[in-house]
Chains A and B, each alone.
Chain A
């Protein structure tokens, strides 16, 4: 049987960055497993620009961003296997995989990094009963068809959901010659970036209808029309506000969900808000030696943060392997195990990653990432160590679509030896 120190599941930006940092932390034996025929993950179909502003201070397209990491993986001689699907991972890190050449086989790992990314939500998006004619796609599927297959899936388009992928596809299909009639968003605000609303909708005169949803679809074989209606505060359609749009295509862009079948079946403890694993300061799941990063952990809108997070996961996976090899050497790095401190998502906060911190293992600084539950203007992000406020920062705007972060330092935490929980809250004054 093959054996590696670290096996990384998924060769998208998260898997690539994790592999690079594990290698730099001193691990030679690393394998990336990727089910697709190339590395790079979803970035390969994201041909628009706007990636990498944070890390590289320039605007790259998705494939260009991926290439920077693929080059490093190759330069560092990190092994990867393409067209190889991971089927199962056991609690003791026996990875069962399948590909055409070798059939079904197993790989033993000392540490595993979960980096499987996310998929698009689709079920439940169309809250109407009955038959589904052809012509209804998720925005990501349409993105793959247009950008990879060179195939335009329709000529007259309605888009439900104003997430970034939907907005990007509104522009893409318009440029390819389709007529995008309207984008409808259930919420009173868009989940997409302002920049995308301006450059993908306003530039082309595509209307965005907030607080609207699809109430009817017509068409036997192929979609013929979609009816939109305004919704009230409770999300119920308002009678008499219906408008019918003739179209042959409906794109759904209603959010992403981490791809965690593997994690769930191996018994990793999950977080019901993020739909990703619960992790500690080392991005380690409830199973020691199993780490998670990128969109499989929580959905990111900026790939830069995926790369940053994954680098930490890769480094911690490396430390896990080194610790197993030499308990003594690691005693220096992790002087003592301490009690876990819980991170609590207080008022206004939906979740935090990580969910627990062990000070003994944390680095000097730790970024805690989180999302807020609704739109706030002129509000404060606050952090409490038990009852005591230790951090307060005014934000002109906070929105559910934008991931936020606060930095905790080991030094500060050590001032509170009996600390049991850290609470994040949004306060309006």
Chain B
């Protein structure tokens, strides 16, 4: 059996969680004050994911960059390959919020989309 220590991030209380695991299975979550802590603890040890936000370079605009994000959360261990892939990308203005900037980033099946309008000129 393994014990993993986490801090619940769902409210300012920040309960210290202890997740007991056997292999890949969660036996029990303790230290949480409410149900949300247990849900978070289970997900965080079995399938931790994050929304990743960054910027990519833009050509043909007063703006130098366009902010972007993953359209859904991606596995935590893919964060670095995701931003590394974005370093190679340069896009041409105009770009509109929601435009797909890069498909299937780092083989996650998730697209990178623009989060701001960047006009040309």
Contact = CB atoms under 8 A, between A and B. Distances in A.
A149 B12 contact: no
Contacts of B111: none
A149 B63 CA distance: 8
Contacts of A176: 83
Interface string A157-187: 0000000000000000001100000000000
A397 B12 CA distance: 7
Contacts of A47: 53-55, 67, 69, 115
A49 B9 contact: no
B7 A198 contact: yes
B28 interface: no
A241 interface: no
Interface stretch (A27-35, A61-69, A337-345, A353-361): A61-69
Interface residues of B, number: 31
Chain B CB count within 10 A is highest, among A59, A146, A197, A198, for: A198
A48 interface: yes
B51 interface: yes
A143 B18 CA distance: 35
Given A63-B116, A147-B67, A149-B65, A199 B9 contact: yes
B53 A397 contact: no
A402 B11 CA distance: 11
A11 to B, nearest CB: 15
B76 A203 contact: yes
Contacts, number: 72
B21 interface: no
Contacts of A399: 12
A58 B80 CA distance: 25
A148 B64 contact: yes
Contacts of A234: none
Contact of B69 (A49, A149, A197, A202): A49
A61 B67 contact: yes
A59 B51 contact: yes
Contact of B53 (A37, A48, A401): A48
Interface in A47-76: 47-49, 59, 61, 63-64, 67
Given A147-B65, A175-B80, A193 B53 contact: no
A150 interface: yes
B95 to A, nearest CB: 12
A49 B116 contact: no
B50 interface: yes
A405 to B, nearest CB: 14
B78 interface: no
22 contacts: A47-B53, A47-B67, A47-B69, A49-B53, A61-B53, A61-B67, A63-B67, A63-B116, A64-B97, A147-B65, A147-B67, A150-B65, A175-B52, A175-B54, A193-B12, A194-B7, A194-B8, A197-B7, A198-B6, A198-B7, A198-B9, A397-B12
Interface of B: 6-14, 33, 50-55, 57, 62-65, 67, 69, 76, 79-80, 83, 97, 115-117
